[in-house]
Amino acid sequence: MRLLLIGAPGAGKGTQAGRIADHFALAHISSGDLLRHHVATGTPIGQRAQAFMDRGELVPSSIVLDMLRKPVLAAARDGGYVLDGFPRTVEQAQQAYGVARELGVAVQVAVHLAVPREALLARIVARGLTSGRSDDDPEVLEHRLDVYERHTRPLLDYYRERERLLTVNGDRPLAEVTWSVLVQLQRAKKLLR
């Protein structure tokens, strides 16, 4: 199974992606974690991405696609993946789909974690107190949510038309969200065979 998680910053993509990956024995590929690793280790990808990340801007597609190619191919060969954090725009989705379709590793199901803006703000502020992530800074926070609304939310229509889009209420206790996602994915998995 090849899955994509879509949600605003703070929606719980990373947490749910890890739980989904464990449940279905898939690789969890987080573009944000990979980018932060590249920045921390000073790789050429990290050097190119850092300024965008520090401003809360989207890292250009060319950088992210270069970074994701090997992990996605390896995960697809080993049974599938849960991708969170990319694509973030319809243009990125179109570029990624073109490449992934040629390689036979395109996303089969997109899961949208729907969380109201007020809840997202509270979550990110709380996470920022302990995470040390530069993109969890309150000054960058509102901008990140605005960027999501402008650029990422249109992905919902794109995936609704192209793949199966599953929407889950992400503003509930963690275990309830996970259960709801897993139930919907179990149904979708039967249709993918």
Looking at the domain assignment, is residue 79 inside a domain?
yes
For residue 140, the model assigns a pLDDT of 79
Looking at the domain assignment, is residue 191 inside a domain?
no
The 10s digit of each residue's pLDDT in 131-146 is 777 667 777 788 889 9
Q: What is the CATH number of the domain that holds 99?
A: 3.40.50.300
Looking at the domain assignment, is residue 193 inside a domain?
no
41 DSSP β-pair partners: none
For residue 142, the model assigns a pLDDT of 86
Instruction: Compute the average pLDDT of residues 105-114.
Output: 94
CA 179 to chain centre: 19
Q: Which residues contact residue 185 at a Cβ distance below 8 angstroms, ignoring those fewer than 6 apart?
A: 1, 3, 20, 24, 109, 111, 166
For residue 167, with 0-12 CB atoms within 10 Å meaning exposed, 13-18 middle and 19 or more buried, which class applies?
middle
- 130 band by pLDDT with thresholds 50, 70 and 90: confident
Q: In what order do the strands lie in the sheet with 2-6?
A: 27-30, 81-84, 2-6, 109-114, 164-169
When divided into structural domains, the chain yields a total of 1
pTM above 0.75, yes or no: yes
Looking at the domain assignment, is residue 157 inside a domain?
yes
The 10s digit of each residue's pLDDT in 13-31 is 999 999 999 999 999 999 9
Looking at the domain assignment, is residue 192 inside a domain?
no
Looking at the domain assignment, is residue 141 inside a domain?
yes
- 8 band by pLDDT with thresholds 50, 70 and 90: very high
**Locate tokens 């995960």: which residue?**
75
Q: Range of 124's domain?
A: 2-186
